[in-house]
Amino acid sequence: MKAETPLSKPTFVLALFLVSACASAADVVADPPKHCDACEGWSATREPFAVFGNTWFVGGGLSSVLITSTDGHVLIDGGLPQSAPAIAANIRKLGFRIEDVKLLLNSHTHYDHAGGLAALQRASGAAVAASPAAKRALEKGGPTPDDPQFAFGPVHNDYAAVSRVRAVRDGETVNVGPISLKAHFTPGHTPGGTSWTWRSCEGDRCLDMVYADSLNAVSAPGFRFSGDGTHASRVQEFQKSMDKVAALRCDILLAPHPELIDLDAKLAARAQDPTVNPFVDSSACRKYAAAARGRLDKRLLEERATP
């Protein structure tokens, strides 16, 4: 019988790293999961990857974006409640630590993008910043009554509340070390929707990065974006948000739902030719806003056809 040989030093170090990473990921205790028709796909895992410079994709079926520095990191969006351990594991796969995330940000306060924030906050000890309307929803743990999806009800909507959220102003810059992100309020899909911009660099080449909030006219049954006896029209506000996204300085666009930026097609293109970054597209924000405007126009036609 062949005697067992000890692990070589590199193999032993790698083994210790993998054990440590698995143990640390397990320390991110997820809150109760959400169940929905789309949740299985939304909670699917994906290998993390570099987008550009110090910007990384660490989500799965839903987007979560990490911006890194030697003085700490920023994480945008926490996916579903059950996605938090996978996001933390992806951060570690890239060689970073969830404990070094110093700031958590959010696009909008629905359970599929904010549901994992409470667990990620507990694991990292990070601060949380959001628009005033988003702060109210995050600290409540679900949409407020002025949200188009509020009528789905608490069983569908609610998630673990996020504590100690700092309110930011429209146009305010938040910082972690050398990282600076600017808040752009883009209400419509939710009252507190926020898009975020920053710069990432590779050597001397720096690009304008945009994480644009969802601009989809989606609601609970009975809600009318054109207004009714219970609330005023949201159309002008929504269109203003689309105009704002279209006008952003935008070399690379990211968004809460990967399919809205054709993420899989971009990754396939990168695999075919790694010398070209398919995420770089200075027209992406304009096209994103135009597609959203088309969906809103379709929704308004439906509302006009329904008394």
Tens digit of each residue's pLDDT (9 = 90 or more) over 90-116: 999 999 999 999 999 999 999 999 999
Q: Work out the pLDDT band at 47, boundaries 50, 70, 90.
A: very high
Q: What is the mean pLDDT of the chain?
A: 92
- Looking at residue 22, what is its pLDDT? 42
| Mean pLDDT, rounded, for 16-32 | 60
Tens digit of each residue's pLDDT (9 = 90 or more) over 51-102: 999 999 999 999 999 999 999 999 999 999 999 999 999 999 999 999 999 9
- Looking at residue 263, what is its pLDDT? 98
126 pLDDT more than 50: yes
174 close to 183: Cβ distance less than 8 angstroms = yes
Higher confidence at residue 306 or residue 132? Answer: 132
Distance CA 307, CA 304 (A): 7
Q: Kindly state the DSSP code that residue 61 receives in the 8-state scheme.
A: S
For residue 101, what are the β-bridge partners? Answer: 73
Tens digit of each residue's pLDDT (9 = 90 or more) over 209-250: 999 999 999 999 999 999 999 999 999 999 999 999 999 999
For residue 56, what are the β-bridge partners? Answer: 50, 66
Phi, psi dihedrals of residue 231, rounded to the nearest 5°: -160, 155
- Edge-first strand listing for the sheet containing 205-211: 173-176, 179-185, 194-202, 205-211, 252-254
- Looking at residue 15, what is its pLDDT? 39
- Looking at residue 187, what is its pLDDT? 98
Distance CA 116, CA 123 (A): 11
271 close to 194: Cβ distance less than 8 angstroms = no
- Looking at residue 214, what is its pLDDT? 97
- Edge-first strand listing for the sheet containing 49-52: 49-52, 55-57, 65-67, 73-76, 101-105, 127-130, 165-167
133 pLDDT more than 90: yes
- Looking at residue 307, what is its pLDDT? 80
25 pLDDT more than 80: no
Q: Which domains does the chain have, with CATH numbers?
A: 25-305 (3.60.15.10)
Q: What is the pTM of this model?
A: 0.91
pLDDT above 70 covers what percent of the chain? 92
Q: Work out the pLDDT band at 207, boundaries 50, 70, 90.
A: very high
Tens digit of each residue's pLDDT (9 = 90 or more) over 145-180: 999 999 999 999 999 999 999 999 999 999 999 999
Q: Work out the pLDDT band at 3, boundaries 50, 70, 90.
A: very low
- Looking at residue 4, what is its pLDDT? 36
- Looking at residue 27, what is its pLDDT? 81
- Nearest 5°: the CA angle 43, 46, 50 is 130
- Looking at residue 222, what is its pLDDT? 95
236: which 2 tokens?
Answer: 């002008």
5 pLDDT more than 80: no
Distance CA 119, CA 25 (A): 12
Distance CA 214, CA 292 (A): 9
- Looking at residue 9, what is its pLDDT? 36
Crossing angle of helices 117-124 and 84-93, in 10° steps, is: 50
- Looking at residue 19, what is its pLDDT? 38
